[in-house]
Amino acid sequence: TVKELKLTEENLEMFDFFLEEDMRPGELMEIQEDERGSYILNSRDLCIMPKLEDYLKIGVDSLKVEGRGKSPYYAGLVARAYRMAIDDWYKDPENWSAEEYMKELSTIPNRGYTLAFHDGRLTNYAHGYDSNTNVSDWEFAGQIVEVEDNAFIMTVKNRMLPGDVIEIVPPRSRQTIFIRMYEFIDAKTGKVGEAVHANTHPLIRLPFSLFEQEDPEFLKREIVPMTIVRKEKALSEDEWQRLKLDQEGHKIEMGKGNEERYDAKRDALQTALDDRQKERSFRTPRVGTKGCCGRGCNGCLIFWHDESYAKAREILAKRKQGEMLEKDGKTIAAE
């Protein structure tokens, strides 16, 4: 018998909720909800790098990176990783492993990687029920836009501070180049600053003198216009825990992970998310005498009934309708 059941706060916890597609009967996708919201179809990002050799073995010789709506950072690093992976497989298919290239893909902000339907039925590890934001401990620092006789010109995509280490990622070479930055030279004015912010779309100069440990010929040959530059990104505790959970989930899909370890990392992420919620606060309290801004808001019990705001109420009563006080009512009372 099918009956319509009214859900209330009292009986809601008695049920689990799932979605089912008409074309996939029996494949139930769980809906989860917590104080941060509902999680419906929060898929992790499809990544077939671990299965790349299966396609190469059957003769696939062309792959397309889906770049619509993506940044140059995404398109450049994904294409580079797959290019290296394909070349390495053809050189030595017997000893090929996806691990090195997955590390490269992890520098791209993602929602966690999954094989999704690649091997058949979807598993719970293909969805992120706790957090669905794109996360990585690396970010887009900028891009080389011009090569001069004695310097590279770089456009900045994220804020850079003294002590930041940038990594230049040549498109054709596996050798990346690291530079610790202490100051930033404006490419247009020549002025030297201690920080650079991306909101003004600045161009900075990277003199060849910074590359004291590198071969000048290699620099000129491999670092070409459009070369990607990345840097490490500071993460919150819940973001670090998310990365650990994503990695363990992907390992389980590959038959290498551990479910108990996954559950422990998921608990750690939940704890970190809860702690972050506790850290959030409004600029002013919501209730109590300290929760009144003193400007005469509609419905404010404190302002309209507390004796300390009596003078402010008198002044406000003489104002035009809708015109509030410019000062806190307590300040007015003290004047």
Nearest Cα to Cα of residue 205 among 146, 157, 162, 161: 146
Tens digit of each residue's pLDDT (9 = 90 or more) over 135-174 = 999 999 999 999 999 999 999 999 999 999 999 999 999 9
Tens digit of each residue's pLDDT (9 = 90 or more) over 248-276 = 999 999 999 899 999 999 999 999 988 88
β-pair partners for 153: 146, 205
Say which residues have a Cβ less than 8 Å from residue 147's Cβ, sequence separation at least 6. Answer: 153, 220, 223, 224, 225
Reported as a pLDDT band with limits 50, 70 and 90, residue 82 is very high
Q: Are 156 and 198 in contact (CB under 8 A)?
A: yes
Say which residues have a Cβ less than 8 Å from residue 29's Cβ, sequence separation at least 6. Answer: 18, 19, 20, 41, 122, 127
- Location of each CATH 2.40.30.10 domain in the chain: 138-232
Nearest Cα to Cα of residue 264 among 298, 239, 295, 241: 241
pLDDT score of 31: 66
Q: Report the SS3 class of residue 82.
A: helix
Mean pLDDT (whole number) for 76-84: 96
Question: DSSP secondary structure string, 265-277?
Answer: HHHHHHHHHHHHH
Tens digit of each residue's pLDDT (9 = 90 or more) over 14-52 = 777 777 777 677 766 666 665 445 555 578 899 999 999
pLDDT score of 311: 85
Tens digit of each residue's pLDDT (9 = 90 or more) over 287-318 = 666 667 776 777 677 878 888 888 888 887 88
The one-letter amino acid at 155: T
Mean pLDDT (whole number) for 183-190: 94
- The yes/no answer on whether domain 138-232 falls in CATH 2.60.120.200 is no
The owner of tokens 């590198």 is: 214
Whether residue 327 has pLDDT greater than 60: no
Local structure of residue 95 (DSSP, 8 states) = G
Mean pLDDT (whole number) for 185-209: 93
- What are φ and ψ of residue 185, in 5° steps? -100, 120
Whether residue 321 has pLDDT greater than 60: no
Say which residues have a Cβ less than 8 Å from residue 27's Cβ, sequence separation at least 6. Answer: 20, 21, 121, 122
Dist CA 145 CA 227 (whole Å): 8
123 vs 28, 44, 72, CA distance in Å?
10, 11, 31
